[in-house]
Amino acid sequence: MAKKQERSAELLAASHATHNGVFITGASSLEVKEDVLPSELFSDDYIICASLGNCRCASDGKAIKQFTSHARVPNDATQVALGHETVQMVVQAPEVTGLQAGDLVFVTPGHSAQPVNPDTFELDIDNGILPSLGYSYRYLGGLRQFNAVPVKAIAYVKSQGFGNLFNPIKNTQNISIASLAHAEPYACCYGTNKHLFTFDSNGDFLYGVPAKARLAYLGGTARMAMINVTIVAEAADEDLPELILITGSKRKLEEMEDFLLIKQLRDRGVQVVLIDRSDPDIVSKLTEHGRPHIVWTNFASQDLYDQATAIIERGGNINNYAGASDPAIGFSMPIDAFKADSFTDEAKTMIHAAHHTLGLNDFKRESGVKKDGVCRFIGFAGQEERLQAYVDALPDSVQIVHDAGDINASNIIAEAERYDDVFIAGSGDAAAQAYADNEEALARGAAVMFVDGDCTIFVRSRLSHYTTRHQICGPNVPWFMTNTSEPHADDMALHAAKPTNFDWMVRGVVGLKDALSMMDAVEAAAPFGSFFTFAELPNLPYVEVSAQAFKDAAEKADDGQTKQALNDAAAVLEKENDTWSASAERALYAAYGVPYPLDLE
């Protein structure tokens, strides 16, 4: 404990000085800049943290390209600290937080489920954003050396359903900093799987990846897909899927054949089928062993979305894993025709078919409309009797907006900014157009029901992923849709207590000052794997994880300290078959004369 306190005191002193960070400064503009934490942040109103490092996430690319048009970047931002897959050390914390100097922590990335001002956390529907670590702040991001977090953010994040803002790391034995930094993608994938739902034979919600299911990972050679498969593989033998389909480039699939993860799954009885994404018969290949019950779209493209809708088992779940930045692409969903014996039966059936999560970012769902929400009825003009049947079946606490004539109800309003439940009457193009016209007015977690059906709608990926996360509900819906979960503190805490080793995925490392070289190289080549930036080792050049690559980089090094660090790590990699490890990190830290944070007591 003394060493932790000593190190945190050193870092606290350093945090007052100018230091480096990687910032988004404009659309497609990324810079390593010097910055300083304002003196007023060193008070009982803020927590000060030192970043140990950050793992690159592909979703950062959207924020870099879009900047202020991104859903999480403030409209008036001039520079935003990048990085949300991070490990931090607390160096100053007021007693009220329960944190202590020297604590190693994960920071929960998701901070708000509604548009707010990121500085004040006040609701701002018109100009607010969904603030998040690594996208929304100047003074908080995994790729700046020192960070400041307002104490009030702890209670706010919890009120938004994200759990604890800080998650103390309880187990650092035999794990690397790079593997620890996978807590965010681990939580993202674990939460995604937890949020997945289908229905059992009794019509009850069945959560998670079903045992003995058929699974498909489209664009599945991506890092997030492999993290997801790793989590699925942690299940007991009786709960494993029977089939896993993975599509990707021929080169990456050939590499994947040698992955220990794939070999172990096959040894345990799982049929793992790797399919070239350029195969002209890809849909047939994806269905020859039976239609998948769960499909993940790990890359945002219309072709991939079309594959997902073509292969999904009826009643299955498509996970919109990579929300598209292009609002024009999405998923075509054919809605069956529906007709009940009476308007009363129809209303009861459709209202019960609506479903919402129990609370903000809660994965459990309940049937029925949102009890204190706003229902909109579209296409009911001239069908007052039919609409009245719905009104009579709704809870009195629900507000109603409709396009029909006179209705006997006291809770009717003229309009609303957002709608929690939408019932659309009519079929064909008219119903599909009504949905399209109102998609942007759907509240977060809204439910949409087509009471006549017999139409094909187009669910735009970007809207369903980022903005509303709404659900198409009803007995006439062919499949269901979830999307990448907000990384939740509870799921990050699982990794904090029992980290999953992702060292096999680490393909490159770099120091903070050369982070842009890593990002440019990865963006250009799109190699498989994880790439980690060491905030405490700023002079480390970008180098791929292999003993030979480290030796080659050592020969080019200008200073003796970096040369020694690279050669010492190369020696470790030679012994460990070019696999990253805590031992390789210790060699780097020792050569640079920096205390290895996972060994401090």
User: What does the pLDDT look like over 97-138, one tens digit per residue?
Assistant: 999 999 999 999 999 988 999 988 899 988 899 999 999 999
User: Angle at the Cα of 464 (from 230 to 353), degrees rounded to 5?
Assistant: 95
Overall CATH class of domain 1-170: alpha beta
Question: Where does CATH 3.90.180.10 sit in the chain?
Answer: 1-170
Say how far apart CA 221 and CA 252 lie, in whole Å.
Answer: 7
**298 token code pair:** 């790990």
- Whole-Å CA distances, 77 to 108, 124, 187, 215, 414: 22, 16, 28, 41, 36
Q: Which residues of 344-381 are buried (b: 16+ CB within 10 A; e: fewer)?
A: eebbbbbbbbbbbbeeebebebeebbbeebbbbbbbbe
Mean pLDDT value across the chain = 94
**pLDDT (0 to 100) of residue 126:** 86
For residues 146 and 14, the answer to whether their CB atoms sit within 8 Å is yes
| Model pLDDT for residues 368-411, shown as the tens digit of each residue | 999 999 999 999 999 999 999 999 999 999 999 999 999 998 89
As a whole number of angstroms, the distance between CA 247 and CA 277 comes to 5
| Residue 62 pLDDT class (50, 70, 90 cuts) | confident
d(CA 321, CA 312): 15
pTM: 0.90
Class of domain 335-458: alpha beta
Q: Where are the alpha helices (DSSP H) in 268-377?
A: 282-287, 302-311, 343-353
Mean pLDDT of the 185-214 span: 94
Average pLDDT for 68-91: 95
pLDDT of residue 523: 87
Could you give the C-alpha distances from 571 to 197, 233, 277, 568, in angstroms and in order? Answer: 47, 32, 38, 5
CATH for the stretch 187-322: 3.40.50.720
Q: Which residue spans of the chain are classified as CATH 3.40.50.720?
A: 187-322
Nearest alpha carbon to residue 148 among 156, 137, 139: 139
- For the stretch 438-474, pLDDT in tens is 999 999 899 999 999 999 999 999 888 766 789 999 9
pLDDT of residue 217: 97
Cα 455 from Cα 547, distance rounded (Å): 58
